[in-house]
Chain A
Amino acid sequence: MLTRLTGGEVVDPVNGATGIRDIWIRDGVIVDPREGEAADQTHDVSGCIIMAGAIDIHSHIGGGNVNTARLLLPEHHKAHLPRPAATPLSNAGWSTFQTGCLYAQMGFTTVVEPAMAPYTALHTHLELADIPIIDRATLAILGNDDFTLSLLRDGKSEAMIDDYVAWVVGSTRALGVKVINAGAAAAFKENVRAFSFDDEVPEYGLSSRKIVKSMQHSVTRLGIPHPLHVHANNLGLAGSADTADVTIAATEGVPMHLAHLQFYGYGTQGKRAFSSEAARLAESVNSNPNVTIDVGQVMFGQTVTISSDVMRQFSAIDKASPKKSVIIDGDGNGGGGIVPYSYKRNYYGTLQWAVGLELFLLIANPWQVFFTTDHPNGAPFTAYPEIFELLMSSEARDARAVELNVAALEMTTLASIRREYSLEEIAIMTRASPAKLLGLKDRGHLGAGAIADIAVYRRGKDIAKMFREAALVFKNGQLVVKNGKVSAYRWGKTLRLNPPPDRAMVKRMKAYHEDRYGLPLEWFTFPDSAIDRDEPFMEVPWNS
């Protein structure tokens, strides 16, 4: 079947200037029609803009910790159901089913869960497989497990480290690798309470720097398309900007992605010793083109923080609101903490909000900065439409700032920044650039050959409304959303890399698990059939 979208303004910076042109779909793929060919089906989308389906590179949508948050906080769903507008979390897609629907309604068609603990990979993939409509992917966490740390301590060869990283990525069906406060979870088990880039993990004598650099180089050597995804040390602390700085400096020109940089945008100036260093950090990103970051924007209201940074989460349990939390000392790279939190319009909340926006607006190149709230840590993903509005309208920012803490805003440069994102920049930041960063050549743009993941938005004065309710959304050419409501269900794929396992490494893994855990390796790995869905995975090629 040949489908034609006609009359819409196509915003697709990868394939040329914005303008009105037709988009054609055949067999789930965008095509150039043959001369004189007629469409079987035509959608008149005059007055609308057309973009590729959006891609979220960092959103905690499934897996052990997300599920524990559901267990800890059933009331966040229930209590707020009758008044969804008042509390963003009630819209946040607490179930896998809602997650797929709500993302699709905003025109998002691919979402990456960025924190899969390798030993709970099966759980993560079962959840991801139950998220309807969209494609998913996930990053495997490394950098805190005994096997990695022992390889590094014992000075094993790069080839062996690469074999191990490849085995983890392959056996867990990941699309990339992430480190989370590298070394800190292992150190916390030995009662270490603070951990910076050059601190060492007891027993191993390894610094966080050494772990991060080793993983970064391994990922690069292996040709994993997505650069090492780094959740740095000292998240959320006053002075964490220094940590971000040393981490960026340590990249030494090699690609690295820094997650939710907003949470590292803080200095120690002012009466409260909590200030914005966003301008300095943005400058640092601007002058290091090998570095990409996502923001982790904070929005106000109730949310829950979900992180595998167990040391950081433990330090936050006194601030839990409501007063309950779960802290898990997990296996190797697993575990973490679930701490409910409410962002208030006070000094601290306002400063965090402003730091995020400063980063968005002061990082010059939209190919380097990615659109996230670190869902649900800074805000639920349902807050995205409001954030698009703040980025595209300095007036909207001014209007919002009036309600916020003046002393905090005065510690930032936000009021002086008049930049407004263009639709093209939004399309780069949320479509083209994520596809490039993740190595997904088949999406993120609307050129012939791309899969037909397409979002159509009705142009209007109300930017938030425009992005909240897509007029039409196509996933692999299938119409799944009409007028902001899901109109058809389908199952997407989980995108993964599939490196062939090194046989010596598999042998080593078998011996290691039998010796250290007293169980055969099969207890920790799984066949595709365990997901119980037709072809649940789709392979993404490696860089050659």
Chain B
Amino acid sequence: MSVAWIGSQPVPLADAVRTAAKLLASSRCPVFSLDADVHGTRSAIALAAVLGAAYDHRSGDAVAREVALFTDHGGMFTTPGEVRRRSSLIVLVGDIAPAHAELFKGWGGSSPDLGDKAPRRWFQVSASDRPTRRGKAVVKAVPLKGEGLSLNATLAVLRAELQDRMVAAPLQNVERLKKAMASAQFPVFVFSGGSLDQAGLVMLQDLIVDFNSRHRLSSLFLPDDDDAWGTVLTSLWMTGFPPRTGFINSLPSYDPVRWDVQRMIREREADVHVWMSARGGEDPPKRGSAAVIALDKTERPARGAAVTIAVGEAGLDHDGVRYSSRVGTFTAVRAAEPSPLPSVSAVLRQLAEAMPGKGTLIC
């Protein structure tokens, strides 16, 4: 089985590494699209620093929206463990990413053992025109919506209702929710990055802060993509910044517009693109003119890539560390089906060593 290709030609791994290193060494503007576990991300950012490259997550836009909630606003949050143990009232906000179904199942099948210890009740805030699809199969929630209201508008009306202000048209089931909130000791609103836009995220947090002036209420943030959120956290400690960071004179600079890697590729600023897909099943972007170095969980060359190197997935092919929404932090994962595929981190270290005059990574 081949593990490395130059163009569509199978080659020994060392040849592919050497070719990739040459491409990077001669690049004017290299960029990275990250998709790896913590150690892959650490190695990638360390290499980006050496190269003076910019990096972003592969799903840059979705990640940028989640990041902006914090950089622009902040909020009140809790953890999945605390919700399971303490929240007898769970309010889902919008459509939660289906990846979190297991978590909801766990809550559905258990009762809180702390706080009010009441049986769990579920509500779901949604737009009037959108039937809730995702997550519906897992839990049965009381719908909260209003005639002709978008999700953000529904949240705005809900906030007014919870402050006992006048509203033009009441939300369906809102009295039931108000009653539940009055009796629950630690209710929680659950949202994911994809379930709300920026204005909705801010609206939700304002509602929560208001409510906390007298009662307790928190929110649980479930990232749209756990690995992407792990990359955000790793980036923060390594450079002080979230992704969409570039290195100028080896100093990191964060600029969500300038270092939007998709944009840099589209507008032909980038000339070499290190594209990762440690989970496989994706293709590098078609547009732009950048030469693609693909670190892909694949058995064939990645579409349009100058170099493809097959990599394994942490927790499947090899051990690693990944962010998990089940615990709200990093967790060590063991290889479930150990394979000889190298980790992203191992490939990047080899790449760094093959760079002419660049030496080994500090990370």
Contacts and interface: CB of A to CB of B under 8 A. Distances in A.
A68 B79 CA distance: 14
Given A74-B242, A331-B79, A130 B115 contact: no
A120 interface: yes
A132 B321 contact: no
Interface in A487-544: 489, 516-519, 522-527, 529-530, 532
A203 interface: yes
Interface stretch (B2-10, B89-97, B192-200, B212-220): B212-220
Contact of B233 (A67, A119, A329, A529): A67
Interface stretch (B123-131, B297-305, B325-333): B325-333
Interface string B299-334: 000000000000000000001010010111111100
A126 B238 contact: no
Interface stretch (A95-103, A345-353, A458-466): A95-103
B167 interface: no
A77 B236 contact: no
Contact of A327 (B77, B84, B215): B77
B321 A130 contact: no
Interface in B232-250: 232-234, 236-242
Nearest to B256: A74
A74 B216 contact: no
Contacts of B67: 71
A127 B237 contact: yes
A329 to B, nearest CB: 4
B363 A130 contact: yes
A326 to B, nearest CB: 5
B237 A130 contact: yes
A119 B106 contact: no
A71 B85 contact: no
Given A68-B70, A191-B216, A489-B362, A519 B326 contact: yes
Interface string B40-83: 00100000000000000000000000010011111111110110
Contacts of B212: 314
B330 A126 contact: yes
The listed residue with most B CB atoms (<10 A of its CB), out of A64, A190, A522, is A190
A326 B242 contact: no
B342 interface: no
Nearest to B114: A146
A140 to B, nearest CB: 15
B232 to A, nearest CB: 7
A330 interface: yes
Nearest to A117: B329
B85 A328 contact: no
Nearest to A531: B321
Interface string A82-106: 0000000000001111100000000
Contacts of B106: 518
A329 B75 contact: no
A122 B79 contact: no
A71 B75 contact: no
Given A78-B253, A97-B238, A524 B327 contact: yes
Given A97-B238, A330-B82, A123 B77 contact: no
B82 A331 contact: yes
A188 B78 CA distance: 13
A310 to B, nearest CB: 10
A153 B79 CA distance: 25
B189 interface: no
A120 B74 contact: no
B81 A77 contact: no
Contacts of A72: 70-71, 74
Contacts of A98: 240
Contacts of B79: 328-331, 334-335
A524 to B, nearest CB: 7
Contacts of B39: 532
A119 B82 contact: no
A326 B240 contact: no
A190 B326 CA distance: 23
A331 B71 CA distance: 24
Contacts of A77: 240-241, 254
A327 B363 CA distance: 31
Contact of B254 (A74, A327, A532): A74
Contact of A324 (B42, B72, B85, B321): B72
Given A78-B254, A523-B327, A132 B332 contact: no
A70 B241 contact: yes
A314 B39 CA distance: 34
A329 B326 CA distance: 16
Contacts of A123: 233, 329-330
Interface in A148-199: 188-191
Nearest to B67: A71
Contacts of A75: 71
A62 interface: yes
A327 B330 contact: no
Nearest to A71: B70
Interface of A: 62, 64, 66-68, 70-75, 77-78, 81, 94-98, 119-120, 122-123, 126-127, 130, 132, 146, 188-191, 203, 314, 317, 324-331, 334-335, 338, 489, 516-519, 522-527, 529-530, 532
22 contacts: A70-B237, A71-B242, A72-B70, A74-B254, A94-B240, A95-B240, A119-B327, A122-B329, A126-B237, A127-B237, A130-B42, A130-B237, A146-B114, A189-B114, A190-B186, A191-B215, A325-B74, A326-B76, A327-B75, A517-B327, A518-B110, A529-B319
Given A70-B237, A74-B71, A329-B79, 6 more contacts: A77-B240, A122-B321, A130-B238, A189-B216, A326-B74, A517-B81
The 7 tightest CB contacts between A and B, nearest first, are A94-B240, A530-B332, A526-B332, A324-B74, A95-B240, A329-B78, A70-B236
Interface of B: 38-39, 42, 67, 70-79, 81-82, 84-86, 106, 109-110, 113-115, 185-186, 209, 212, 215-216, 218, 232-234, 236-242, 251-254, 319, 321, 324, 326-332, 345, 362-363
